[in-house]
């Protein structure tokens, strides 16, 4: 019978036998899968697991530091890399969503490859691939798909020539969460909403600037904190704020304003393939809207997205 504890025991034994004294490099994203894969590998090989966590400048407010701290707290051998400027430089002036995704994927590979080269004598690449990623590789949009689309461009980066170890590739998402809980991983990491690899870059329509990222981070943090304190966060499958580069007229005191719009999105879903918009309480929406407009400079209007998928998608880009 499958239980989280039996899975953990056999997997750690298998990893020890397979890896011996070899070194493994693994990219952490802050998400559930890579975190659980890292902790399992850490139990098996300790400091021979070298984790890399990249700040692409497109994460949620304060997320890089808080996630890095919680990984360190778990005892992982982890290196945080501030690559914000490299991503902003690559994104400058790009407005097409697919071009933005490609640029982010390319820079991520460069940054990760540089970091992997610093691990002397590494022979394995660890990945948090889960069973649905294996069987549905066509529809996977994560880093692995990004990497695949770069296969043909100028040869493989060195880290992709490493042998691959994927301790979760027989598990479904709910099993990964159970294993993570049995491993004692922070519930805040295990219960996180899905967050796209390109991050806030696909929640800012059009071109990306650090100023827009800053505004969206502030609004998104107000939104998510309110969902948490209202006890709604865990009932929603995914939520986030979107920055609309549209200006509209408002009034603040005696002054006329002409500023941008924040859109709030929250959906219920099983797997992201279809989704319904959440009927969040009006009082909660009112509180969030007031807090955003009163506190985030540059925003004078908040709207709520009431579109389901299909025909709308969850993200706006
Ligand atoms: P859509 O917008 O296609 O999103 O309805 C479905 C799910 O996929 C996520 N998503 C992405 N994840 N890279 C990712 O890693 C991407 O480029 C990407 N685009 C969408 C989205 O957040 C939702 O959970």
CATH code of the domain containing 276:
3.30.300.10
**Gap from CA of 133 to ligand 1 centroid (Å):** 14
Nearest protein CA to atom 20 of ligand 1, as residue: 196
Domain-located, residue 317: no
Which residue, of 168, 190, 212, is where some domain finishes?
190
Q: What one-character DSSP code corresponds to residue 179? A: H
**Gap from CA of 265 to ligand 1 centroid (Å):** 13
**Gap from CA of 6 to ligand 1 centroid (Å):** 33
Same structural domain for residues 171 and 292? Answer: no
Domain-located, residue 96: yes
Domain-located, residue 196: no
Positions of E strands within 23-178: 24-28, 49-55, 78-82, 124-126, 163-165
Q: pLDDT confidence of 246, banded at 50, 70, 90? A: very high
**Gap from CA of 232 to ligand 1 centroid (Å):** 22
Same structural domain for residues 31 and 155? Answer: yes
Same structural domain for residues 140 and 163? Answer: yes
**Gap from CA of 298 to ligand 1 centroid (Å):** 27
Domain-located, residue 207: yes
Mean pLDDT (whole number) for 236-240? 98
CA angle, residues 66, 68, 73, in degrees to nearest 5: 95
Domain-located, residue 293: yes
Which residue, of 149, 167, 190, is where some domain finishes?
190
Give the residue numbers spanning the domain of 82: 4-190
CA distance 218 to 291: 10
Which residue, of 130, 157, 190, is where some domain finishes?
190
- Find out whether 55 and 152 touch, Cβ atoms under 8 Å: no
Instruction: Among 97, 236, 272, 276, say which to mutate for ligand 1: greatest number of ligand atoms within 8 Å of CB.
Output: 272
pLDDT on residue 146: 47
CA distance 10 to 3: 11
CA distance 314 to 297: 26
pLDDT on residue 97: 97
CA distance 265 to 195: 13
Q: What percent of the chain has pLDDT over 70?
A: 94
Per-residue pLDDT tens over the stretch 218-237:
999 999 999 999 999 999 99
**Gap from CA of 233 to ligand 1 centroid (Å):** 19
Query: What rounded mean pLDDT belongs to the chain?
Result: 93
Instruction: Among 59, 141, 144, 305, say which to mutate for ligand 1: greatest number of ligand atoms within 8 Å of CB.
Output: 141
Closest ligand 1 atom to Cα of 309: 5
Residue ranges around ligand 1 (CB below 6 Å): 101, 141-142, 194, 196-198, 238, 272, 309, 313-315
Is the Cα torsion angle 69, 70, 76, 78 positive or negative in sign? negative
Instruction: Among 139, 196, 237, 276, say which to mutate for ligand 1: greatest number of ligand atoms within 8 Å of CB.
Output: 196
HSE-up (13 A, CA, CB side) for residue 313: 6
- Find out whether 317 and 207 touch, Cβ atoms under 8 Å: no
- Kindly give, in sequence order, each residue whose CB lies less than 8 Å from that of residue 62, ignoring residues fewer than 6 positions away: 221
- Tokens 């989704």, located at residue: 275
Over the range 140-166, which residues count as b (16 or more CB within 10 Å of their CB) and which as e?
bebbebbbeebeeeeeebebbebeebb
Closest ligand 1 atom to Cα of 317: 2
Asked, as a colleague might, if the bond just before 281 is cis with ω within 30 of 0, I would say: no
What CA–CA distances, in Å, run from 27 to 51, 195, 196? Answer: 6, 15, 15
**Gap from CA of 198 to ligand 1 centroid (Å):** 9
**Gap from CA of 116 to ligand 1 centroid (Å):** 26
Closest ligand 1 atom to Cα of 316: 2
The model's pTM = 0.92
CA distance 262 to 299: 7
Binding-site residue positions for ATP: 29-35
Same structural domain for residues 70 and 147? Answer: yes
Nearest protein CA to atom 3 of ligand 1, as residue: 313
Nearest protein CA to atom 10 of ligand 1, as residue: 196
Same structural domain for residues 182 and 218? Answer: no
Positions of E strands within 4-73: 24-28, 49-55
Per-residue pLDDT tens over the stretch 67-109:
999 999 999 999 999 999 999 999 999 999 999 999 999 999 9
Name the domain count of the chain: 2
Domain-located, residue 124: yes
Per-residue pLDDT tens over the stretch 137-171:
544 445 544 444 444 455 789 999 999 999 999 99
Confidence check: pLDDT of 46 > 50: yes
Nearest protein CA to atom 9 of ligand 1, as residue: 196
């Amino acid at each position: 019978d499958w239980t989280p504890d039996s899975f953990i025991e056999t997997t750690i034994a298998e990893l020890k036998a397979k890896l011996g004294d070899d070194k493994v490099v693994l990219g952490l994203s802050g998400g559930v899968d890579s975190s659980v894969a890292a902790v399992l590998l850490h139990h098996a090989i300790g400091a021979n697991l070298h984790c890399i966590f990249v700040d692409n400048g497109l994460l949620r407010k304060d997320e890089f530091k808080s996630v890095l701290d919680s990984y360190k707290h778990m005892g992982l051998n982890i290196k945080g890399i501030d690559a914000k400027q490299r991503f902003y430089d690559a994104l400058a002036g790009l407005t097409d969503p697919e071009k933005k995704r490609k640029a982010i994927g390319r820079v991520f590979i460069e940054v990760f490859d540089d970091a992997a080269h610093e691990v002397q004598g590494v022979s394995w690449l660890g990945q948090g691939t889960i069973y649905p990623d294996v069987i549905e590789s066509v529809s996977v949009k994560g880093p692995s798909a990004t990497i695949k689309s770069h296969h043909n461009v100028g040869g493989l980066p060195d880290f992709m020539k490493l042998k691959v170890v994927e301790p979760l590739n027989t598990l479904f998402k709910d099993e990964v969460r159970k294993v993570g809980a049995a491993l004692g991983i922070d519930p805040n990491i295990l219960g996180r909403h899905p967050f796209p690899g390109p991050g806030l870059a696909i929640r800012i329509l059009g071109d990306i600037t650090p100023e827009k990222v800053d505004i969206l981070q502030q609004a998104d943090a107000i939104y998510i904190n309110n969902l948490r304190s209202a006890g709604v966060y865990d009932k929603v499958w995914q939520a986030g704020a979107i920055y609309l580069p549209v200006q509209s007229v408002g009034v603040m005191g005696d002054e006329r304003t002409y500023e941008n719009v924040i859109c709030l999105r929250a959906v219920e879903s099983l797997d992201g393939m279809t989704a319904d918009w959440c009927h969040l309480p009006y009082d909660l929406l009112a509180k969030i809207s007031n807090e955003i407009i009163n506190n985030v400079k540059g925003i004078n209007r908040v709207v709520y997205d009431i579109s389901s998928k299909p025909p709308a998608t969850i993200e706006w880009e």
